[in-house]
Amino acid sequence: MPDSSSPLSPAGDRHFDGLADKFADSLYGALRGELRLALLDRLLPELLDLDDQPLLDVGGGLGQLAGWFAARGHAVTLVEPSGEMLERARRALAGAPVRFVEAPLQALPEQAPGPWPLIACHAVLEWLADPRAALATLADRLAPGGQLSLMVFNRDALRFSNVVKGNLEKALADRLEGQGRRRRLTPISPLTHAQVVAWSAECGLEMRAVAGIRVFHDYLCRPVGDDTERNRLLELEWRYCRAEPHWRLGRYLLYTLVRPETGGSEAPRTETACEEEPRP
């Protein structure tokens, strides 16, 4: 019997109706959002083969990523189940070559079947009751040779930051995920790198690259001061976002997953193309 007072969808997902203001302020109104966008701006052209191909942005939220691709000549289809988030994206992207579809990821086979040469799904799977099935749905929508830019909230980083903040009991009990109640922004299904490796292999996807987004910022002991310090932090984040061992504790993990050109029956390469050494 669904609980009508619960903010979760019938599928058990946390659509962001009622969360748009809080999400906009606490992420994109703060340094954490600025760093995320600055790192994506540098990383996406390195991690993806981009040639103006159409892009499907799933769970596109407020539209920042859709805007980034649209400004680079991609025709974007933004799919988002929250009417509130979609309305804000529509306003932010007025005039850009973006088609808006109000639907959840689970409706992609009917609403945006593709096949797509390029799909982005950033910071969405951790808000779903069944992220594994969702990854399979995304994989099925990719054309042969198509690329999926997947970003997920990292469960291992969540444990680390809880310990750093002194939430020792919670960390020992491994009670890390949120419940999706009220206006909380702790994801209900944070993921591990091991899960992404296993599930993408199950779907026949090849893991081409991985990077950590915010490998330092979320563990800082004091707020960043002036612009000089912000720039230093960005350079550190950039230098180590693909370097061992730092990328593994990024607050988010950013992947390029590719559907092989031929059938997908060969065993996919599962290990990462991350760099062992920091960039100079």
Which structure tokens are listed for 215? 């490998």
Q: Which of 35, 55, 78, 105 binds ligand SAM (CB under 6 A)?
A: 105
The 15-44 contact track toward ligand SAM, x by CB under 6 A, reads: xx----------------------------
Burial class from Cβ neighbours inside 10 Å (0-12, 13-18, 19+) for residue 87 reads: middle
Q: Which of 74, 122, 246, 259 binds ligand SAM (CB under 6 A)?
A: 122
Annotated binding residue at 36?
yes
Letter string b/e over residues 99-124, b meaning 16 or more CB atoms within 10 A of that residue's CB: ebbeebbbebeeebebebbbbbbbbb
Q: Which of 48, 76, 80, 259 binds ligand SAM (CB under 6 A)?
A: 80
Closest CB 2 distance from ligand SAM, rounded Å = 15
Closest CB 226 distance from ligand SAM, rounded Å = 27
Closest CB 217 distance from ligand SAM, rounded Å = 16
**Does position 64 bind ligand SAM by CB under 6 A?**
yes
**Does position 258 bind ligand SAM by CB under 6 A?**
no
**Does position 81 bind ligand SAM by CB under 6 A?**
yes
Amino acid at 156: D
Closest CB 98 distance from ligand SAM, rounded Å = 14
Which structure tokens are listed for 183? 């206006």
Amino acid at 5: S
Residue number closest to ligand SAM, CB atom: 61
Closest to ligand SAM by CB, 12 or 260:
12
The residue written with tokens 């419940």 in the block is: 179
**Does position 104 bind ligand SAM by CB under 6 A?**
yes
Q: How far is CA 30 from CA 35, 57, 110, 133, 262, in A?
A: 9, 23, 37, 32, 44
**Does position 127 bind ligand SAM by CB under 6 A?**
yes
Closest to ligand SAM by CB, 13 or 206:
13
- Contact criterion met (CB below 8 Å) for 34 and 26: no
Size of the residue set binding ligand SAM (CB under 6 A): 23
- Contact criterion met (CB below 8 Å) for 157 and 249: yes
In whole angstroms, give the CA distance from residue 253 to residue 24: 21
**Does position 123 bind ligand SAM by CB under 6 A?**
yes
Of the candidate spans 117-125, 142-150, 165-173, 261-269, the one that interacts with ligand SAM by CB under 6 A turns out to be 117-125
**Does position 82 bind ligand SAM by CB under 6 A?**
yes
Using H for helix, E for strand and C for coil, what is the string for 70-120? HHCCCCEEEECCCHHHHHHHHHHCCCCCEEEECCCHHHHHHHCCCCEEEEE
Rg (CA), the chain: 18
Which residues contribute to the annotated binding site for S-adenosyl-L-methionine? 36, 59-60, 80, 122
Which residues contribute to the annotated binding site? 36, 59-60, 80, 122
The residues that touch ligand SAM, with contacts defined as CB under 6 A, are: 13-16, 58-62, 64-65, 80-82, 85, 104-106, 122-124, 127-128
